[in-house]
Amino acid sequence: MKARLSLLYFIQFGVWGCYLTSFGQLLGSGGIGRLIAWFYAAIGLVSILTPPLLGRLADHTGRPARLLGTCHLAAAIVMFVMWSYSMTHPQLEFRVFYPLYLLFLALYMPTMALANTTTFGLLTQNGHSNVSSFPTIRIWGTVGFVAAMWFVNCAYWHDGALGFSLAEDTEMGHLRFQYNSMQLLCCGIVGMGAAFYSFTLPSLNQSRDTSPDSSSVRPSLKDSIRIMFGKKEIAIFLGFVILSGVCLQISNGFVTPFITHFSGFAEYADSFASGNATMLFSLSQISEAVCILLVGVSLKWRGIRFVYAVGLLAWALRFLMLGEGNPGNGLWLLVGSMLVYGVAFNFITIAGHMYIQQVAPSGMKGFAQGLMMFMSNGIGATFGTIAAGSIVNHWCKWKLIGVSASGGSMQLFMGDWIYPWCIFAAYSLAVLILWLFLFNPHVRNDVG
């Protein structure tokens, strides 16, 4: 069962890895790069509704794997439509492309919480500890994400043949999937694979909660919300989930365009880092894969308060290193920012999902997972990413710049990037200070 769930996460996050970190490059080349923040905020817009609603439906039906497959299938179909449109419209129209992307996310984002609900349920059903087993399973999601990133970074399609290249200063270098709509085709294909695989997973025996403390009448949506927020510790935690949710989408939306913009400077034009931003970014996911194994141990050792604080500090360090880094003598700072990401992501997101699974009442586990997505990728990411986009756009603008020895040109996001990164770092530190003052769990358990 652990092997099957590991494969589920490999494919699940492979869907996202095909485009998430390189999407900004596609938007820039399509003429709507100034609106990057709205596309990454879209993750939050749809997370406000669909994850908690489908999480509740999973609780009600006891078939999260079936819902997972259905969502993946529908999302893959929409992604194929997006790819077809972008192939025939080199200059993307926001009024067409954005609604399609919203629809894709409305179908794909619930799969994150549904995959967690499926995994936690099947682990429990098969006698495994969630705290001990989940990190070693979830790590394969990161491996899948990295594999997809490497593929779109290197792959290109030319004269009816698939090829691979790491060189930026060639014609093939600018044809790589990380710069064009072929990343969307990859996403659709992997999404279809995720759908069909999800349908093969077993159903949960405890499809309707039969634990001794469960109620014969499932609480209404209003009552479920009241129960979750009625506990002070959970309510405060979910408030910080909103505040910390901002950081992840800032990272996903702007790091790759930031690294690629160094191609517009003569001293960095042909550097490996600026020409392979997606691959450099993948060091973040490699770090994530390593650090995820520390989550369970750290939670048992010091609890959620310590672990979450370390995660917020790691976000601040990541942003500071990005602000000071470059592909030359500052390459070590760029690499360092990628490596510290593993702590930042896992000690916030993965630890948070494990904590909410532990403290959520019986019969409300799926709803709790969806609610956390609502708070983090919903409210936090929506308003935070839009605000972050305004900050970045104040100092940086998309420009057509000549790059590389081949004499080609690219749309690059040029500007004084150090200021946005320092503002984001200061924000992370402010949230850290609030966390230390306001969150004091009274009960110490496996994750609290």
13 in Cβ contact with 144 (< 8 Å):
yes
Domain membership of residue 179 as a residue range: 2-202+221-438
Q: Give the Cα separation of 410 and 95 in Å (integer).
A: 24
Which structure tokens are listed for 290? Answer: 């390593």
Burial class (CB in 10 A: 0-12, 13-18, 19+), 433: exposed
Q: What is the pLDDT of residues 150-174, one digit of tens each?
A: 999 889 888 888 888 887 666 777 7
Residue 363 lies in a domain: yes
pLDDT the model gives residue 318:
96
Q: What is the pTM of this model?
A: 0.74
Q: What is the pLDDT of residues 130-153, one digit of tens each?
A: 767 887 888 899 889 989 989 998
Residue 214 lies in a domain: no
pLDDT the model gives residue 445:
47
286 in Cβ contact with 149 (< 8 Å):
no
406 in Cβ contact with 269 (< 8 Å):
no
Residue 360 lies in a domain: yes
When pLDDT is averaged across residues 302-306 and rounded to a whole number, the result is 89
Q: What is the pLDDT of residues 44-58, one digit of tens each?
A: 777 667 666 676 676
Which sign does the torsion angle of CA 13, 16, 17, 20 carry?
negative
Query: Would you say how long the chain is, in residues?
Result: 448
- Lowest model confidence (mean pLDDT) among 8-12, 62-66, 99-103: 62-66
142 in Cβ contact with 295 (< 8 Å):
no
C-alpha distances out from residue 30 to 1, 25, 174, 429, 432, Å: 43, 8, 14, 35, 38
Which structure tokens are listed for 401? Answer: 């710049």
Residue 428 lies in a domain: yes
Which sign does the torsion angle of CA 347, 349, 354, 358 carry?
positive
> Among residues 381, 279, 385, 297, which one has the least CA distance to residue 347?
297
CATH assignment of the domain containing 26: 1.20.1250.20
Q: How many domains does the chain have?
A: 1
Q: Going by DSSP bridges, is the β-strand pair 155-158/161-164 parallel, antiparallel, or unpaired?
A: antiparallel
Residue 208 lies in a domain: no
Kind and range of the H or E run holding 399 = strand 396-403
When pLDDT is averaged across residues 406-419 and rounded to a whole number, the result is 82
Average pLDDT for the chain: 84
Q: Going by DSSP bridges, is the β-strand pair 408-415/396-403 parallel, antiparallel, or unpaired?
A: antiparallel
Q: What is the pLDDT of residues 342-384, one digit of tens each?
A: 999 899 988 888 888 888 877 777 778 777 877 877 788 788 8
Q: Give the Cα separation of 382 and 43 in Å (integer).
A: 7
Residue 299 lies in a domain: yes
Which structure tokens are listed for 178? Answer: 């990380």
Indicate if the pLDDT at residue 41 is higher than 50: yes
Residue 56 lies in a domain: yes
Reduced to 3 states (helix: H, G, I; strand: E, B; else coil), residue 164 is strand
Indicate if the pLDDT at residue 222 is higher than 80: no
Residue 123 lies in a domain: yes
Q: Give the Cα separation of 11 and 385 in Å (integer).
A: 27
pLDDT the model gives residue 60:
66
